[in-house]
């Protein structure tokens, strides 16, 4: 099953989140059954990152967006564990600082875009500036409504100028599952720190966020930077779908191991000469 085809938002398509089942689990009945396939994807991701780093012709930007408790951190922990940390960075975009607010909304984002050969993961992103600011009326409509084109232009810039593949995931969680996860945070002392009164307050904005996300999908899912709506009530399926889509995306980059720049024959001759001298010295 190709989850890219199943969960992609085609450019210009109007989607309704109510038409997507957040509890969907595909052909697998359980985490245990899905684990071998998931492990296969993780191993491929590790291999493909090695190619990406060696070739240094492309970059990869992974955007994670979701409502609270949908599993952005969990996705990073489980799926992105396949990547070597030396070539992958994670940036979390929280409430803008005073300095960031004095600049355009993309100013704080661009420095974290990946260099060629690297992977960047955004835990929340530039999309907060057409989501949170819209729902909570932090800026006027005539301000945030112009940002869709600016975002599309920014992502096109990354694609054209730096050969950056952009993959955007919305982790789709049901209201019921969110409440269940909030309760788990309350009941588990190790996770108490993750809960706040604002989490429950934000639930009152569920419909407003839904409307905002649906407009984001319609206006910013592009061929070079597609959105995928990932069913996330089951954590294991969320991880499986994301890992499969990432592996397929990187595979399609057509990366090749670069040819060595050095003269290998000369280096081999030097090695054998050095090894021969070492052997004589021991004799």
Instruction: Report the CATH fold assignment for 3-282.
Output: Rossmann fold (3.40.50)
Question: What per-residue confidence (pLDDT) applies to 275?
Answer: 72
Domain boundaries, the chain: 3-282
Report the pLDDT value the prediction gives residue 277, as an integer from 0 to 100.
67
In tens, the pLDDT along 220-243 reads 999 999 999 999 999 999 999 999
Task: Write the secondary structure of the chain as one string of H (helix), E (strand) and C (coil).
Answer: CCHHHHHEECCCCCCCHHHCCCCCCCCCCCHHHHHHHHHHHHHHHHHHHHHHHHHCCCEEEEEEEECCCCCHHHHHHHCHHHCCHHHEEEEECCCCCHHHHCCCCCCCCHHHCCCCCCEEEEECCHHHHHCHHHHCCCCCHHHHCCHHHHHHHHHHHHHHHHCEEEEEEEEECCHHHHHHHHHHHHHCHHHHHHCCHHHHHHHHHHHHHHHHHHHHHHHHCECCECEEEEECCCHHHHHHHHHHHHHHHHHCCCCCCCCCCCCHHHHHHHHHHHHHHHHHHHC
102-149 tens-digit pLDDT: 999 999 999 999 999 999 999 999 999 999 999 999 999 999 999 999
pLDDT-flagged residues of the chain (< 50)? none
pLDDT value of position 32: 96
């Amino acid at each position: 099953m190709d989850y890219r085809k199943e969960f992609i938002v085609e450019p210009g398509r109007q989607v309704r989140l109510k038409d997507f089942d957040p509890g969907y689990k595909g052909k697998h009945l359980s985490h245990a059954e899905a684990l071998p396939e998931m492990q296969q994807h993780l191993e491929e991701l590790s291999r493909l990152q090695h190619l990406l780093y060696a070739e240094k012709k492309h970059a990869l930007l992974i955007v994670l967006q979701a409502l609270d408790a949908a599993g952005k951190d969990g996705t990073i922990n489980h799926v992105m564990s396949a990547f070597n940390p030396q070539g992958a960075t994670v940036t979390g975009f929280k409430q803008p600082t005073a300095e960031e607010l004095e600049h355009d909304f993309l100013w704080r984002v661009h420095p974290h875009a990946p260099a060629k050969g690297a992977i960047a993961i955004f835990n929340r992103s530039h999309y907060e500036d057409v989501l949170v600011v819209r729902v909570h009326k932090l800026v006027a409509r005539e301000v945030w409504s112009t940002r869709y084109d600016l975002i599309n232009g920014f992502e096109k810039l990354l694609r054209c100028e730096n050969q950056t593949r952009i993959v955007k995931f919305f982790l789709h969680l049901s209201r019921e599952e969110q409440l269940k996860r909030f309760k788990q945070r309350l009941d588990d002392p190790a996770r108490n720190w993750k809960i706040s009164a604002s989490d429950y307050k934000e639930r009152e904005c569920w419909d407003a966020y839904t409307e905002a996300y649906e407009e984001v999908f319609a206006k910013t899912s592009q061929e070079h930077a597609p959105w995928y709506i990932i069913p996330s009530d089951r954590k294991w399926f969320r991880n499986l779908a994301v890992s499969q889509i990432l592996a397929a995306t990187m595979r399609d980059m057509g990366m090749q191991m670069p040819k060595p720049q050095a003269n290998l024959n000369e280096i081999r001759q030097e090695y054998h000469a050095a090894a021969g001298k070492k052997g004589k010295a021991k004799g």
